[in-house]
Amino acid sequence: MHKRRRIGVALLAGFLIAGAAPRAGAQAVAKLPQTPAPVIAAGTADTSALAKEAEKWLADLIRMNTTNPPGNEQAAAKYIAGILEKEGIKPELLEAGPGRTAVVARLRSAAVADPTRALLLVAHMDVVGVDRAKWTVDPFGAVEKDGYLYGRGSVDDKGMLAANLAAFIALKRGNARLNRDVIFLATCDEEQGGDASIKTLIAKYWDKFAAGFALNEGGNVTVKGGKVQYVAVQASEKVAVNVAVVARGASGHASIPTKDNAVVHLATAIAKIGAYSAPARPTAIVRRYFEELARIEDPELAKWMRALDTPDRAEHAQRVVSEANPLWNSMLRDSIAPTMLAGGVRVNVIPAEARAMLNIRLLPGDTVDVLVGELAKLVNDPQVKFEVQPDAGYAAPPSSLESELYQTIEKTGAEQFAGVPVVPCLSTWATDSSQLRLHNVQAYGLVPFPLTEEDLKRMHGEDERMPLASFAQGVQFLYRIVAGFAAAK
């Protein structure tokens, strides 16, 4: 590792003075589960005032409805550009389609510019849709209640967006001497991965944000029993593929049932698929994840985590770990989730065709054709066919666990949260990082806010919320990573 240069308090006095005061009349933050007091290294500035500013940015961003589809991220991009301009930072709007706009800005290195050393801070502005009837608050109202800020995107991914903006602005306010360029990028169309996604931005504007390293969403700081248990850093991700299961039969009047019924054939096939479990194949990153996690787990479970690739005990170990947690089960193998059913035109008509959709998440290196072949053998019905859809994700190589950025995250995480393990992980969901990794970027996923399982379940669900105390900790954690890495020679 190279020596790192700490940014002193004096350099950051500017942003501390400029930090916004708490809003008048804001509700007091309720007592949340207590995490260990962060260990603040000498020379590290207090970021609480900046976090309060970023909290306002987050609330404003939540109030901008960027549900995708259609996205309409342009207003959010212009809002972010306005904040950057007030700080004396020149932003650039990147058009990705009608109403679809990304925003990029750069803080330049004191050294000769080298894109391979640059650090990219990336987060997306679009959010998934909501079922308003199931929310207890306005999903786009940024309601502050009981120590939480409620709203769609508060965690995924506008929380990270606001924290990235805070860390970026902190460097500017502190007149930090940077030894690598730091680039801020707010993307669009991440949730759908369509024509305005990061793939398009890379194709059209790669020279605007080319980097060797990136911080993005994808990991998490896990809170359990009121304490931070570990920090998970996404270094790889599964590949999403959609597959249609199509059953065909003879149509006819429902008053004369026959065994040649497409709905029955489909239902039988889906029942078999739903009960199927692909073989476990722990990747190197997954094995490392469980080895590190074993340090803090129950001794009995930890024993089996360490035995996942032991020849004589692997099968039993994989079963024990898979049954302990659905997430772990998905991390160990290709997963198949039936998600949609369609068939029939009238209640009294037997349809000629019935369809189901499978959302498959492949381990890196696995192919959908092999898995579909296994499913076809399992179903064993000539009236049922499988059709791989054209919107598959991208298989990308993992990011290195030996890079200076990963080591900076590892060291800072242990300092910030009193020595908890910092573990690499393979995410079961997709992020923009796969496209970055395909362009030789060492990308790491880190949602820096301490969150409980309950908090995480609300992402893409009802009453998504950000604990405000966790948000402040996350801003500090992210800033320390960025400042430390940007100053490293």
**How many Å apart are CA 146 and CA 162, to the nearest integer?**
21
According to the model, what pLDDT value does residue 20 have?
36
Q: Quick check: is 128 in a domain?
A: yes
**How many Å apart are CA 399 and CA 394, to the nearest integer?**
15
Q: Quick check: is 1 in a domain?
A: no
According to the model, what pLDDT value does residue 23 have?
35
83, 198: one domain? yes
Single-letter residue type at 80: I
The secondary structure of 98-122 as a DSSP string is: TTEEEEEEEE--SS---GGG-EEEE
Q: Quick check: is 453 in a domain?
A: yes
Tell me if 4 sits within 8 A of 408, measured CB to CB. Answer: yes
| 3-state SS track over 18-58 | HCCCCCCCCCCCCCCCCCCCCCCCCCCCCCHHHHHHHHHHH
According to the model, what pLDDT value does residue 46 have?
76
- Domain boundary at 388, 423, 456, which? 388
Q: pLDDT averaged over the chain?
A: 91
Q: Taking 60 as the threshold, does the pLDDT of residue 16 lie above it?
A: no
pLDDT digits (tens, 9 = 90+) for 57-76: 999 999 999 999 999 999 99
Q: Taking 70 as the threshold, does the pLDDT of residue 19 lie above it?
A: no
pLDDT digits (tens, 9 = 90+) for 436-462: 999 999 999 999 999 999 999 999 999
Q: Quick check: is 3 in a domain?
A: no
According to the model, what pLDDT value does residue 110 have?
83
pLDDT digits (tens, 9 = 90+) for 328-380: 999 999 999 999 999 999 999 999 999 999 999 999 999 999 999 999 999 99
According to the model, what pLDDT value does residue 44 have?
53
Q: Taking 90 as the threshold, does the pLDDT of residue 11 lie above it?
A: no
Query: What integer is the mean pLDDT of 279-303?
Result: 96
226, 104: one domain? yes
Tokens of 457: 């379940």
313, 232: one domain? no
Query: What integer is the mean pLDDT of 3-9?
Result: 33
- Domain boundary at 354, 388, 422, which? 388
According to the model, what pLDDT value does residue 7 have?
34
Q: Read off the pTM.
A: 0.88
Q: Dihedral through CA 284, CA 287, CA 292, CA 295, nearest 10?
A: -160
| Domain span including residue 257 | 239-388
The percentage of the chain sitting over the pLDDT mark of 90, rounded to a whole number, equals 87
211, 359: one domain? no
According to the model, what pLDDT value does residue 45 have?
59
379, 435: one domain? no
CATH of the domain at 279: 3.30.70.360
According to the model, what pLDDT value does residue 394 have?
87
According to the model, what pLDDT value does residue 400 have?
98
Q: Quick check: is 383 in a domain?
A: yes
87, 42: one domain? yes
Tell me if 151 sits within 8 A of 139, measured CB to CB. Answer: yes
Q: Quick check: is 5 in a domain?
A: no
pLDDT digits (tens, 9 = 90+) for 40-54: 333 355 789 999 999
Q: Quick check: is 4 in a domain?
A: no
pLDDT digits (tens, 9 = 90+) for 121-145: 999 999 999 999 999 999 999 999 9
Dihedral sign, Cα of residue 369, residue 372, residue 374, residue 377 = negative
369, 221: one domain? no
118, 265: one domain? no
Q: Quick check: is 482 in a domain?
A: yes
Could you give the 3-state DSSP secondary structure of residue 378? helix
CATH of the domain at 405: 3.40.630.10
Tell me if 104 sits within 8 A of 183, measured CB to CB. Answer: yes
152, 133: one domain? yes
pLDDT digits (tens, 9 = 90+) for 234-285: 999 999 999 999 999 999 999 999 999 999 999 999 999 999 999 999 999 9
- Is residue 391 very low, low, confident or very high in pLDDT (cuts 50, 70, 90)? confident
302, 365: one domain? yes
- Is residue 28 very low, low, confident or very high in pLDDT (cuts 50, 70, 90)? very low
98, 214: one domain? yes
Number of domains in the chain: 2
- Domain boundary at 388, 413, 431, which? 388
200, 227: one domain? yes
- Is residue 39 very low, low, confident or very high in pLDDT (cuts 50, 70, 90)? very low
Is the peptide bond prior to 69 cis by the omega test (within 30 degrees of 0)? yes
- Output the furthest CA–CA distance in the chain (Å, rounded): 84
Q: Which residue has the tokens 């179903």?
A: 379
Contacts with 209 (C-beta within 8 Å, 6 or more apart), sequence order: 104, 106, 120, 183, 185, 201
